[in-house]
Structure 1
Amino acid sequence: MLDEAKPLLIKRYASRRLYNTETSDYVTLEDIAGFIRAGREVKIVDLKSGDDLTRSYLLQIIAEHESRGESVLPLGVLTDLVRSYTGSAQSVVPDFLAMSFEMLRSGQSKIVENMTVMNPMSQMPGFKAMREQQAAFFKAMTGGWTAPPDTSPDPSEAAPSEPQSREELDAIRAQLSEMQEMLSKLNK
């Protein structure tokens, strides 16, 4: 069994091919994105120099998704990120982004905890469907970063894995827009 506690080591050869050291095969950027969506940490290093290339490859994955029209980051957020590389905002922005994503993950966990079987609302008609919609929303919001703990009494009640209705995506965009506004205020 693979040790998912430590990062998956990917080695980049001089030919720029990426090699998964656990499975002894070559992988693509899309494969790496899949590992991350599944909750796995990755570390990409240059075989010859030993340099850590993880940040560069993660940015490349994001850029590829954005260029294919899978936009998660509104133009204003991207603009603010570029602006943050100069001046005093450079020191604040990484902490702000890290805290924002941590709050998102934490909020997800707390809401799921409140939606346990012990909740009196769980006996109400339609509760199961509402819980599945919430799980789908959390998955859409986090892009698969972390799966909410399974609080279902039996596996047949697990949330569907392919949610993302138009309303859920609109809610995500609204929340990202709010984050953009907060980031803009920090830059002023």
Structure 2
Amino acid sequence: MAEQMKPLLIKRYASRRLYNTETSDYVTLEDIAAFIREGREVQIVDLKSGDDLTRQYLLQIIAEHESRGESVLPVDVLTDLVRSYTSQASSIVPQFLAASFDMLREGQSQMMENMGKANPMAKLPGFEAMRAQQEAFFKAMTGGMMGTSSPQPSEGGAEAEGLDDIKRELAALQEKLSRMTK
């Protein structure tokens, strides 16, 4: 378990080859992306200087996926990101993005957990397969960082109302995402 908690150390050699220190073999950017999708944290460092290159390589992975047509980021969002580097917004953009992704992961985690527990549809044939597919989709969308456990709300009361609000907001976000991909 402690092995999974610490980041996987990848060393970049002068030849720009990437070396997995756990398995003692060379890896590609796609291998690194797969580690991340599986929920593993990675740290990429330059062997000679010791500089942390993780951000640079993560951005390169994103750029490669976007260039292959696997677009997740709309052009408007990319444009706003570019603008944020030259404006006062650059101080709040990282915190806003981190908080947004945290909220998305939390909402998805709660939705997935609730789909299998208190849902009368859970008794329908094929429901478990559909839930597994949705969980895999959410995991892929969040880079494997979706939590697998969250506290269960009690029956009724303010917590149930809060959960209903989250469900409505999540449904609205999913609808917006589906419109953006069409």
Name the residue aligned to 1:21.
21
Change (3 A) 1:54 1:176: farther
How far apart are residue 132 of structure 1 and its match?
Answer: 3.7
Aligned to 1:91: 91
Mapped partners of 1:177, 1:82: distance in 2: 24
Partner residue of 1:78? 78
- One-letter code of the match for 2:91? S
Question: What is the count of residue pairs matched by the alignment?
Answer: 156
Q: TM-score, normalised by structure 2?
A: 0.75
Fraction of identical pairs, as percent: 70
Secondary structure class of the residue paired with 1:63: helix
Q: Paired residue for 1:174?
A: 176
For the Cα contact (< 8 Å) 1:135–1:148, is it kept in 2? no
**Does residue 120 of structure 2 align to residue 121 of structure 1?**
yes
Compared CA separation, residues 13 and 176, structure 1 to 2 (3 A) = farther
Q: Which runs of 4+ in 1 moved over 6 A?
A: none
Shift of 1:175: 3.4
The structure with higher relative contact order (CA 8 Å, sep 6+) is 1
Give 1:102's aligned amino acid.
D
Which structure 2 segments of 5+ residues have no match?
A: 150-172
Q: Deviations over 1:51-86 (max 9, x none)?
A: 000000000011111111111111111000000001
CA offset at residue 146 of structure 1?
2.9
Residue 5 of structure 1: CA displacement? 0.4
Distance in 2 (CA, whole Å) between partners of 1:97 and 1:19 is 30
Q: How much is the aligned-residue C-alpha RMSD, in angstroms?
A: 2.6
Hey, what does 2:61 align to over in structure 1? Answer: 61
- TM-superposed CA distance for 1:120, in Å, is 5.5
Whole-Å separation in 2 of the counterparts to 1:39 and 1:120: 27
**2:58 partner amino acid:** L
User: After superposition, what is the alpha-carbon deviation per residue over 1:142-174, rounded to whole angstroms, capped at 9, x for unaligned?
Assistant: 24333645xxxxxxxxxxxxxxxxxxxxx7582
Shift of 1:92: 1.0
**What does residue 33 of structure 2 align with?**
33
- How many Å apart are 1:32 and its aligned residue? 0.4
